[in-house]
Structure 1
Amino acid sequence: MRLVMMAAVAVTMAAPAWADLVKIEDQGQFVRLINGKTLTRPMVKLTVSPDGQIEGRGSLWEIEGSWSWQGGFFCRDLFWGGDALGYNCQEVQASADGQIKFTSDRGAGDSAMFRLR
């Protein structure tokens, strides 16, 4: 039992510092963060432009869509490989080390972490 607890502590210590993430509150702050950058994660590369467009690739398929900022949330309408993923407003958090996290359903749903490059 002691070994299991030590392993759990080691994994927790090696995990990303979620506390370093800060909620992005407004569109200007979000645009300054993403402008000129590519959002990357394994097998995904996206460009989210200040003019409201989203483009990129996820696995082998094209990703395209549009976004707007509404009530403190990033709201996007996205297509992946031609299939509609639908409209969703997401909470955005970012860290000083170039990570950005999107959490669906206004912060209550699933999350995806990207690197800003």
Structure 2
Amino acid sequence: MRKITLLLNACIVMTLASCVTTTEEQRIVSEQHFRDVVVEKKLSNTRVDVTLKLTQDGLIEGTEPSGEIKGTWLWDGTRFCRDVTTGPLKGKTCQVVTLKDTKVSVKDVEGKIRTATYRISE
């Protein structure tokens, strides 16, 4: 009887442990997933006071302390590519995108630009 009780307790503990979820960083590798999570949402990085919005038709709109951010974006294979024409983010690059909780991070695959993380909101 004692073995059965121990076995049942072990099963209960294992079941409860499987209910606890830890949010891990997840790489976004498809355009559809990127569009579902990021596009047409407000992206904000309060550390550097940057706010962005990527539109369905491939535009980048936003603000930063010295003014507006404008540019275009597209999805290439498994990466987000952008061409920003104004502001300190100016230039072309393709970036790896990761998601954790309500934050999205973009990392330059060539290591030329620091990883930027933005909070996603409606």
Q: In the aligned structure 2, how far is the partner of 1:84 from the partner of 1:45?
A: 12
Contact 1:34/1:49 (<8 A) preserved: no
Deviation track 1:13-40 (CA, whole Å, cap 9, x = no partner) reads xxxxxx7210001100000002331000
CA distance in 1, matches of 2:78, 2:72: 17
Moved over 3 A (4+): none
**Aligned positions, number:** 96
SS of the residue 1:80 aligns to = coil
Name structure 1 gaps, 5 residues minimum: 1-18
TM-align CA RMSD: 1.9
Q: How does 1:86-101 map to 2 (within 5 A)?
A: 86-95=91-100, 97-101=101-105
Length-normalised TM-score, structure 1: 0.74
Say if 1:32 and 1:84 are closer, same or farther in 2 by CA, change over 3 A.
closer
1:71 CA displacement: 1.6
Mapped pair 1:56 → 2:58: no
The Cα shift of 1:79 comes to 2.2
Is 1:66 the counterpart of 2:83? The answer is: no
Whichever of the two has the greater Rg, that structure is 2
Partner of 2:30: 26
TM-score (norm 2): 0.71
The one-letter code sitting in structure 1 at the alignment partner of 2:120 is L
**What's the offset of the Cα at 1:84?**
7.4
CA contact (8 A) 1:47 1:56 kept: yes
